[in-house]
Amino acid sequence: MRTVGVEEEFMLVSPDGTLRPVAPAVLRYAKRVEDPSTDVPGGHLEKELMQEQIETSTHPCADLDELAREVRAGRTAADGSARRAGARLAAVGTAPGTLDTSVFVDERLRRVHEAFGPLVDEAVTCGCHVHVEVADDDEGVLVADHVRPWASVLLALSTNSPFWAGQDTGYSSYRSQVWGHWPTAGPTAPFGDAATYRRVVADLVASRTILDEGMVYFDARLSARYPTVEVRVADVCLDAEDAVLQAALVRGLAETAVARGDAGPQPRTELLRVAAWRAARTGLRGDLVDPLSGRPAPAATVVRTLLEHVTPALRRTGDLDRVAARLEVLLADGTGADVQRAWRHEGLSDADLLARAAERTLA
């Protein structure tokens, strides 16, 4: 069965609700218990752009139960290392309080900061990235092109970043708006084949606007290290099960694309940008842009359209019941953004909100 893996970025927060620049210490504590003898990707903690963040990753998994165990184990292990450094792990896409961050001390990141200035200072955001296995680059481009119209629905299902710099932004995913400031971020035109994809990436690097291929931040890109497509649209999910849901849906889209042998309808990129903005604004609490019609429709209708689209693939992988049940939970109860706003309406301060998020991250 086609494998999937998940990378999750987290905030490192102190008991008083402020971000803590302790990632170097967290990484040192983690390395004392990690097994460096395996070449299998995933399973380690990694640095992020800011010292107030950390990233976990799973191994490639064929079974969703296995993937869920790895997601939760990664969160637990990272939180254990964070506690030793005086912090906790919080699965929030943006921090609710005042931003006071520090770039990780690294030569490449120093060059990124020098080139992009305030964009880097604002980049303390946390996402969830799904890697899905592909046979080769041509199959990868087929999958990436097929994901294009559905990326906004994946974002809507993950929205978990309503607060920024001390205020409610009115967005369900403000992370995606901040992330969209980077020059290569967001939806792309369809590539069609691997040769075109590689040419576009080479041209972007040759423009000397980005430092290297690692700064190609497309919604769906070919991994430079593994035989995977990396789908990068989601906020980090407050609940681990929603990270698993993202992986299941991405695999369902990949299986659907390969079974069909074509990428399906390819809306213009301008429409995809509008669809992504609408998903970021209202999440599951308003209309979304239907990927098939290009017209607004209730979020529940669009989510069920996605489910119908991937149902044959989910049946083949045995994931249909789990995915359908989780989608209904999200449609009824809301995403992480709705949960965070409910906590705020209870009167929780920034510190209390992040403390509760830290507990929910490990639930």
Task: Please give the Cα distance from 146 to 126 (Å, whole number).
Answer: 25
Three-state secondary structure of 113-181: HHHHCHHHHCCCCCEEEEEEECCCHHHHHHHHHHHHHHHHHHHHHHCCECEECCEECCCCEHHHHHHCC
Going by the DSSP 8-state scheme, the letter that residue 150 receives in this structure is: G
Q: Specify which residues 168 forms β-bridges with.
A: 163
Three-state secondary structure of 193-248: CHHHHHHHHHHHHHCCCCCCHHHCCECEEECCCCCEEEEEEEECCCCHHHHHHHHH
Task: Please name the amino acid found at residue 43.
Answer: G
Q: What is the pLDDT of residue 32?
A: 63
Q: What are phi and psi of 134, to 5 degrees?
A: -135, 155
CB distance 190 to 257 below 8 Å: no
Q: What is the pLDDT of residue 44?
A: 84
Residue 225 CA neighbour count, 13 Å, CB half? 7
CB distance 43 to 170 below 8 Å: no
Residues in the chain: 363
Q: What is the pLDDT of residue 161?
A: 98
Q: What is the pLDDT of residue 4?
A: 98
Q: What is the pLDDT of residue 120?
A: 85
Q: What is the pLDDT of residue 119?
A: 86
Helix, strand, coil: what percent of the chain each, to 5? 50, 15, 35
Task: State the burial class of residue 238 (Cβ atoms within 10 Å of its Cβ: 0-12, 13-18, 19+).
Answer: buried
Task: State the burial class of residue 300 (Cβ atoms within 10 Å of its Cβ: 0-12, 13-18, 19+).
Answer: middle
Q: Give the pTM.
A: 0.95
Task: Please give the Cα distance from 29 to 192 (Å, whole number).
Answer: 44
- What is the SS3 assignment for 186? strand
Domains of the chain (ranges; CATH) run 4-347 (3.30.590.20)
Task: Please give the Cα distance from 143 to 134 (Å, whole number).
Answer: 8
Residue 83 CA neighbour count, 13 Å, CB half? 9
Grouped pLDDT means (10 residues each) for the chain, 363 residues: 97 88 92 56 81 95 98 96 96 86 77 86 92 98 98 98 94 97 96 98 96 95 94 98 98 98 95 98 97 96 98 98 98 98 95 94 94
Give the residue carrying structure tokens 């064929």.
62
Q: What is the pLDDT of residue 300?
A: 98
Q: What is the pLDDT of residue 271?
A: 97
